[in-house]
């Protein structure tokens, strides 16, 4: 189990480094292109079209996930079984006035609502990240985003009600202090990048906590099955996903008069594996990001649209312009693919660890991303920024150790208290 989780984290790190490099190349190239071809453009991160590139990256991920579902390489398609179940239940009510909605319907609707919440956090977090990266170097952006464990701890407290020992919260102070020191010592500091980075931390922390909550709630249980009442007795329990076909058959028989008031009493097995959950989230995020990109960057898109024609992309335009278009296109597509794959692996990691452990791993990952940014883009880092980054990373490590120690202590105390209670009953 430990080796498998470590391999997941290593793959996640590698894909994330590739994504950040491709993403930064795409943002820089689009900024240069807009500056040359748009008369009304001004200096700023908006010239890099961060919302539009983020939207296109979601689109690449949505195409990838839908291709897997349609081709049958990944099954089942998220929420299809649940939606069929709801529609079938409503059909019963319309045909038989004494029937009522199954108890599981509210659970399924809650799952759909959870997917929408995750998609909203995912969209806003990604767009904030794009703004931060478009206005600063990779290293500086990820120094700001190193504060994600702080936001994750707050989100865990107020979303899932997890209260930790006060000393665990105090161990986050070096993380906050290190990030402040690193930002203060950087020549790249700007309030736009700072607040967009903090916004990304908050949204991604909420995404992680809610994702864990949805995956835990949708995990299949062995005692869940389809049950029916009839004049002759109960139907057998069955844990197969084919229960939905049995449900349709029973509904049809019920409407022919063989059953009286068929009622579904439990949930069906979940279709929300980690990979399926992120695929569904990516598709919804793509839809959400389209109006945002048009709202904030539509005027620039309209100006550069005549220059970005399909003729130059297929190789019939001016040679220099053709290569520029091809390079931008390939970097956007590659960054979108790496973004999807690295987040999908992240969801697999999340299904095996606590959200705060994921946030800690996410912070340690930033060390490798900062190093890659320095090597690939030759970005200088000041001494004060380096010291602040080291303090923040050391603080994250200390926070991780204290979190695990207090979690283990509380678990042992809970086990002991349960044993004492059982002894008193005996």
Rg of the chain on CA atoms, in Å: 25
What pLDDT is stored for residue 58 in this prediction?
Answer: 96
> How many C-beta neighbours within 10 Å does residue 392 have?
25
Q: pLDDT for 148-164, tens place per residue?
A: 878 888 888 887 787 88
pLDDT winner (highest mean) among 79-83, 379-383, 401-405: 379-383
What is d(CA 147, CA 412) in angstroms, rounded to the nearest whole number? 30
Task: Indicate whether 318 pLDDT > 70.
Answer: no
Q: Out of 125-134, 190-199, 253-262, which region has the weakest mean confidence (pLDDT)?
A: 253-262
- Model confidence at 193, pLDDT cuts 50, 70, 90, reads confident
Cis status, amide bond into 76, omega within 30 of 0: yes
> Which of 73-87, 137-151, 327-341, 361-375 has the lowest average pLDDT?
73-87
* Dihedral (Cα; 170, 171, 172, 176), 10-degree rounding: 90
Q: Which two tokens stand for residue 6?
A: 């470590």
Confidence of residue 244 (pLDDT cuts 50, 70, 90): very low
Enumerate residues 6+ apart whose C-beta is below 8 A from 406: 164, 165, 167, 168
Distance CA 140, CA 57 (A): 22
Q: What pLDDT was estimated at residue 243?
A: 44
Q: pLDDT tens digit string along 254-285?
A: 444 443 333 333 333 345 677 787 888 899 99
Residues 6+ away with beta carbon under 8 Å from 278: 65, 340, 343, 344, 347
Q: In which band, very low, low, confident or very high, does the pLDDT at 233 lie, cut at 50, 70 and 90?
A: very low
The reported pLDDT for the residue numbered 414 is 66
Q: Provide the mean pLDDT of the chain.
A: 74
Which residue in this structure is represented by tokens 């992240």?
346
pLDDT band with cut points at 50, 70 and 90 for residue 54: very high
Q: Is the dihedral of CA 67, 68, 70, 71 positive or negative?
A: positive
Q: How far apart are CA 20 and CA 25, in angstroms?
A: 9
């Amino acid at each position: 189990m430990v080796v498998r989780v470590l391999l997941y984290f290593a793959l996640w790190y590698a894909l994330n480094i590739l994504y950040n490099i491709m993403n930064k190349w795409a943002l820089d190239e689009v900024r240069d292109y807009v500056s040359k071809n748009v008369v009304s453009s001004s200096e700023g991160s908006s010239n890099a079209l961060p919302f539009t590139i983020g939207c296109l990256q979601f689109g690449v991920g949505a195409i990838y996930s839908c291709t897997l579902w349609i081709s049958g390489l990944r099954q089942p398609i998220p929420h299809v079984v649940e939606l069929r179940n709801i529609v079938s239940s409503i059909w019963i009510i319309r045909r038989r006035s004494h029937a009522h909605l199954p108890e599981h319907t509210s659970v399924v609707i809650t799952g759909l609502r959870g997917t929408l919440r995750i998609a909203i956090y995912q969209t806003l977090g990604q767009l904030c990240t794009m703004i931060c990266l478009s206005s600063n170097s990779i290293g500086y952006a990820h120094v700001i985003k190193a504060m994600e464990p702080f936001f994750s701890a707050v989100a865990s407290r107020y979303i899932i009600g997890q209260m930790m020992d006060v000393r665990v919260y105090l161990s986050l102070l070096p993380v906050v202090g290190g990030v402040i020191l690193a930002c203060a010592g950087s020549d790249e500091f700007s309030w736009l990048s700072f607040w967009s980075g903090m916004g990304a931390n908050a949204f991604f922390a909420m995404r992680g906590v809610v994702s864990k909550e949805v995956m835990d709630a949708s995990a299949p249980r062995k005692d869940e099955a389809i049950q029916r009442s009839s004049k002759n007795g109960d139907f057998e329990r069955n844990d197969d996903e084919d229960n939905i076909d049995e449900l349709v058959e029973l509904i049809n028989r019920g409407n022919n008069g063989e059953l009286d008031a068929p009622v579904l009493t439990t949930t069906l097995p979940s279709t929300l594996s980690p990979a399926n959950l992120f695929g569904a989230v990516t598709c919804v995020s793509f839809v959400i990001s389209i109006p945002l990109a048009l709202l904030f960057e539509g005027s620039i898109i309209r100006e550069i649209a005549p220059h970005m024609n399909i003729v130059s992309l297929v190789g019939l335009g001016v040679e220099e312009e053709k290569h520029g278009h091809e390079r931008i296109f390939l970097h956007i597509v590659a960054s979108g693919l790496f973004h999807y794959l690295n987040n999908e692996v992240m969801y697999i990691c999340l299904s095996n660890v606590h959200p705060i452990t994921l946030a800690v791993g996410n912070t340690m990952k930033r060390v490798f991303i900062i190093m890659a940014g320095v090597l690939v883009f030759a970005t200088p880092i000041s001494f004060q920024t380096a010291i602040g980054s080291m303090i923040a990373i050391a603080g994250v490590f200390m926070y991780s150790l204290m979190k695990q120690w207090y979690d283990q202590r509380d678990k042992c105390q809970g086990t002991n208290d349960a044993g004492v209670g059982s002894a008193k009953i005996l």
